[in-house]
Amino acid sequence: MSKTVIDSRPWVEKYRPRKIAEVSQQTEAKRLLSRIIETGNMPHLLFFGPPGSGKTSAALALVKELFGREDSKTRLLELNASDERGIRVVREKIKKYTRTNTPKGKINPETGREMPPWKIVMLDEADMMTPDAQAALRRIMEAFARNTRFIIICNYVHKIIDPLFSRCSPHRFEPVSPDAQMERLHMICKAENLTVEDRALERLMNLTCGDLRRAVNLLQSAAGIHRTITEDAILEVAVHPPTYVVQSVLTACATSPEAVNEVTEEVANQGWDVALLLQEASAARSVCVQNQGEAVEHTAGATTNSLDS
């Protein structure tokens, strides 16, 4: 009797796009990468933008489509510059890798296309590299451009030195839009057979501000604790005060200074982050004001119609 193999990977890896077309949003970057796959011509690339916008996923999808699942293991050197940011890494690891030859005329069995005669070095979080390491990288890019292409990934493009920036084709990744984020989250919920309230996903998007990676991580954390994922379940794993705590603060503010002092002491004893609590309370108050405004507008409209009739 065969055993069912459980996929225990983090969901950000399990549901990482395998093809460029699966990357959320980023229309211009996807158009460029699709063109690279068609022609086999690729400049050095610089991807920059906020965390969780798909920079690394797009780069990995490009590598897999160019070389196939198996050959991408030998055609890609992936480094996280925040861990290995010194000049020694640039001179030793990257230089050693770029010096090895790449076979020509090999066919990608998954697409039937001939693989480009070069390999790829991907440097994630390159804005954490020291200026000396970036300068050394620039010289290596020039020396080994014949058989190596570089994908430089960073959050803050102003931390990339000008000589390195000028040798790359820069592409900005925008925060993932609410619609694209919701589509991806719904897909994951369906694949994982999750019961999720709509307000929970809306809250998840509000908390993560276009960071799809963080949204998926929080969703998985909530799914590991709760059978039904509610708004409060999302707030719990995000370490944000739940709605009942926020409501108690708003109620106290509308009651008396003594009530405010009492609830403040209680909230502090529970260990909630005061800044996050104020943020949630402000958001809740804004919603109340908006609802009141809509109610007044609706009532005024109904009164006008009644008088007209």
On whether the 176-238 domain is CATH 3.40.50.300, my answer is no
Tens-binned pLDDT, residue by residue, of the chain (309 aa): 455 556 788 999 999 999 999 999 899 999 999 999 999 899 999 999 999 999 999 999 999 999 998 889 889 999 887 766 567 777 788 888 888 778 888 888 888 888 999 999 999 999 988 888 888 888 888 888 888 999 999 999 999 999 999 999 999 999 999 999 999 999 999 999 999 998 999 989 988 988 999 999 999 999 999 889 999 899 889 887 767 777 777 777 777 777 777 777 777 776 666 666 666 666 655 544 444 444 445 444 544 555 555
Joined together, the tokens standing for residue 293 give 């405004």
Name the pTM for this structure: 0.78
Q: Do domains 11-172 and 176-238 have the same CATH topology?
A: no
Annotate the chain with three-state secondary structure: CCCCCCCCCCHHHHCCCCCHHHCCCCHHHHHHHHHHHHHCCCCCEEEECCCCCCHHHHHHHHHHHHHHHHHHHHHEEEEECCCCCCHHHHHHHHHHHHHCCCCCCCECCCCCCECCCCEEEEEECHHHCCHHHHHHHHHHHHHCCCCEEEEEEECCHHHCCHHHHCCCEEEECCCCCHHHHHHHHHHHHHHCCCEECHHHHHHHHHHHCCCHHHHHHHHHHHHCCCCEECHHHHHHHCCCCCHHHHHHHHHHHCCCHHHHHHHHHHHHHCCCCHHHHHHHHHHHHHHHHHHHHHHHHHHHHHHHHHHHC
Domain 11-172 has CATH 3.40.50.300: yes
What residue spans define the domains of the chain?
11-172, 176-238, 243-302
